[in-house]
Chains A and B, each alone.
Chain A
């Protein structure tokens, strides 16, 4: 794990570092830009655990927490890891007290909308072991590539790659159990 860590000295400083430092100094515009930059990540992490109608609440809670605690973050470069950790905890809290995504009605001749189909697959993704669901949502719902997921969540690229590959395999297996719905 440690061997896979990025070497910050060999790469240009990510854009968010300056924004974090400015936001810590009270720059509201910088905070707004951080929000815009990381909202998809937080939404993806939330959607790994909660239904879409609750994801917005998670996002709101996460950024309110960030706003309150940003001053306590010592290393700006650690912002993505710190933020992802807050997002996971908030998503877990919301998932505990919320109802899961409801199953679509079983119909003898069902015309299933694409929204329902997407929700059905999201439900299967959420049923995967932790970690897999998060990267799959970031990849397929948020449209991030593996390197972007690593950058935005603070995970190592190796870890993201493995989770994507295994997660998709597990998802195929789950969807295959009830009839192959993908494809």
Chain B
């Protein structure tokens, strides 16, 4: 196979390469998440301390001035009806927090910043999985288990029992498979892998693969990778 796509993204891409290209940029997001809160350099830390002091002082001053103003104003008529202390309604329940950019971003220091700027490189393949990350909800294990449980009997009846009948008395009376697959946001199944076919039951793996591929899950905000073990025995699954 040509390595052109691997080298410079020309030519025909290999499915594995596309999968890695979609999946692995998530690691960058993990680096980004791990960097919060940032450890600012010394200069920025001093600046942030000064800023924190100034903001604290401003907040205290605002509180005193607000209290003074309320003390001088008559209480609103309905405040006493509801039994609220005079002035409570005008008081902000929680003081608005100042939005302060992280010191390392605002300080004009050449020391590496803790944010990741745009990559000054040519455009790359847009990872479709990255957009899924921002979507609303993911599937719970219970959602997955429900669908899997609903199909186990079918798999046994359609795959294991015919395979067992073909085998006759020879070979092991049991078989184990592990299906790994992706469930996309619409609930469709793709990339079903059940490992190599078993010597005693050569048709079992491909049959299970076909069954799993037809499963449908509820739509969700992000794609999910699922592992399902199948353990078949001659007497019971």
Contacts and interface: CB of A to CB of B under 8 A. Distances in A.
Interface of A: 23, 28-29, 31-32, 35-37, 39-40, 43, 47, 52-56, 59-60, 63-64, 67, 107-115, 117-119, 121-122, 137, 139-148, 161, 164-165, 168, 172, 179-183
A179 B195 contact: yes
Given A111-B141, A142-B28, 12 more contacts: A28-B109, A47-B31, A52-B31, A53-B30, A112-B224, A114-B133, A117-B23, A121-B23, A143-B121, A147-B7, A168-B16, A183-B193
Interface in B13-53: 15-17, 19-21, 23-31, 34-35, 39
A19 B26 CA distance: 30
B6 interface: yes
A143 B124 contact: yes
Given A121-B23, A164-B3, A40 B119 contact: yes
Contacts of A67: 110-111
Interface string B184-210: 000000010101000000000000000
Contacts of B132: 114
Nearest to B228: A109
A32 B110 CA distance: 5
Given A114-B132, A115-B26, A164-B3, A39 B112 contact: yes
Q: How large is the interface on B (under 10, 10 to 19, 20 to 34, 35 or more residues)?
A: 35 or more
A97 B35 CA distance: 19
19 contacts: A32-B113, A40-B121, A43-B31, A47-B31, A52-B30, A52-B34, A53-B34, A56-B114, A108-B229, A111-B225, A117-B225, A122-B24, A140-B24, A143-B124, A145-B8, A164-B3, A168-B17, A180-B180, A180-B195
B121 A148 contact: yes
Tell me the interface secondary structure of chain A in the complex: helix
Given A43-B31, A121-B20, A183-B15, A114 B223 contact: yes
Contacts of A36: 117-118, 120
B92 to A, nearest CB: 36
Contacts of B70: none
A83 to B, nearest CB: 12
B213 interface: no
Given A53-B30, A142-B28, A182 B139 contact: no
Contacts of B15: 183
A147 B6 CA distance: 11
A122 B20 CA distance: 10
Given A119-B30, A146-B7, A111 B116 contact: no
A115 to B, nearest CB: 5
B178 A47 contact: no
B108 interface: yes
Given A114-B23, A140-B21, A168 B112 contact: no
B233 interface: no
B138 interface: yes
A183 B223 CA distance: 14
Given A43-B28, A67-B111, A109-B148, A139 B225 contact: no
Contact of B112 (A60, A146, A161, A164): A60
A168 B125 CA distance: 18
